A and B are shown apart, each in its own frame.
Chain A
Amino acid sequence: MKQHRPDNTLREAWILFMILGMIMINFPFIHIFNGDMSLLGIPRLVVYFMYGWPASIAVIWLFVRRLEQESQAQQNNNNNDLITR
């Protein structure tokens, strides 16, 4: 019986990143950037989100790419199976 699930590593990575994400946009982590300090006049928290947000989107993008590669690989495998049979 073939189960069409993404590989477990991905699943674990996903859970890990979710937790990490939850931490990184919440207290106390964002407290690090809170305060009057600024970068070129832009408050640090704003800078954090302006760069952190696209970065997290990039992570999702990488994750999706990995998913696609894996389903590609699985398809190839299936094809090979068929051929060798």
Chain B
Amino acid sequence: MNPDEIRRLFTSALADPEPVHRAGTDAIVAAGRRSVRRRRTAIAGSSGLAVLAAAAMVLAAPVVLSGEDRPPVGQAGPEPPAETTEDGEELPYEPCPGPTEEMTSEQLETSAMYEAALDEAVTEIGGSLGALCVEGQTDYDGFHYDPDFGGYRYHEIAVFPDSGGDADLTVEVRDPVEGPLEERMEQIAECGEAADCTWNHGSEAGALLETEGDRRVVVDEDENPEGDPIPFSGVLLGLADGTVVRVETGGGEYGLEPLEVTHEELAGIAAAIAGGEESPTREHDEGYLIPEDGELIEAFTQAVVATVPEAEIAEGEPTGFAPAADDHYGNDGTELAYLEVDVGGEAVTFFLQKTPIEAPGDGGATRTAAEHYARCTLAADCEFTELDGSTALTHRTYGGGQTELTSIEHRAADGWAIGAGVVGGTADPPVGFEALDEIVHQIR
């Protein structure tokens, strides 16, 4: 059989009409956002304060339904197992489950902390993590604690876009054990057997052992039961408390061009993980001029009272900011604070949303940028007004059982979008966009 015959065979196999896609592009984008948000939430969750704040918001946030199928707004906490979008569209399945059921909260936080440090360190050398969970040692997407192994493990693919290459990346953080540290490290590395080992005495982070060699990887037992020799290089970093951090990368492009990650770079990754507890959280990337939460909420409360004189604010209001659990408010970093108010005998919820703009200045205050950050594709209606070259105002309306109105000021130069919204009353809120615009204006 020759190549042309093979191509005809393929064409014949595809002769049936293709099925209709079960998930549209929007559903894929939504799932991508969820994936990114989950990773960021895990990273942010490595801060004890962030965890406490999120837990507090579960109790404090009001449940407001502005559409029959819409989930409660402001509910923080674990990502819901969303199988469909708001439109009922099926979301893509994810083959790499998170290890949430098998670790303690402390282990989860530590895993997230290690992953944040690893992500940062790999990014610094031009890589990108999490392309694919790897069959074999772990079934998880990310770090997980393995009590039988005696430490945290990570095994995924790192992608290096500039070179177009990728690499198997294995990271281990082994618990301290009794006995000589360097001897243990040599045993872990299988020095003299599977690896050539060299001690690097110039490391300030701890005892550093550099390794390299070949591992035989069996890809197809029938075709090649002995496997192919796959080059690897790695480091083991022994810390003063006996913890051993191992970072090893195997050639992703087997037999082609071995990916060159130097021992120095690997040592940098190991040191970053070892010092992960001191890594800053990355909930909001540096450079965003987000006002202090307390100031913002205070200004919001005063603006509501000033703009809606008949408003009576319930005791204990307002709440603090919490991550938006629903995509319809804004992007991954969107947070909301709520204010329960009685307006002429009707229970009304005002909310303040703040959305960091990932690339301040990018796109200016154009309609495309403003409507993107306001999630206008999900709204029943959006009205755009350009205020000046870097500021725009968007009036966003969601329908459903209760109408939800939001006036969002998109401040491209500052790097954030802020919105004042209202939902409540019998069907339509007792205040409109004019009042919301005034509230936003006063906050500014």
A and B: bona fide binding partners: no
The interface of chain A, by Cβ under 8 A from chain B, is: none
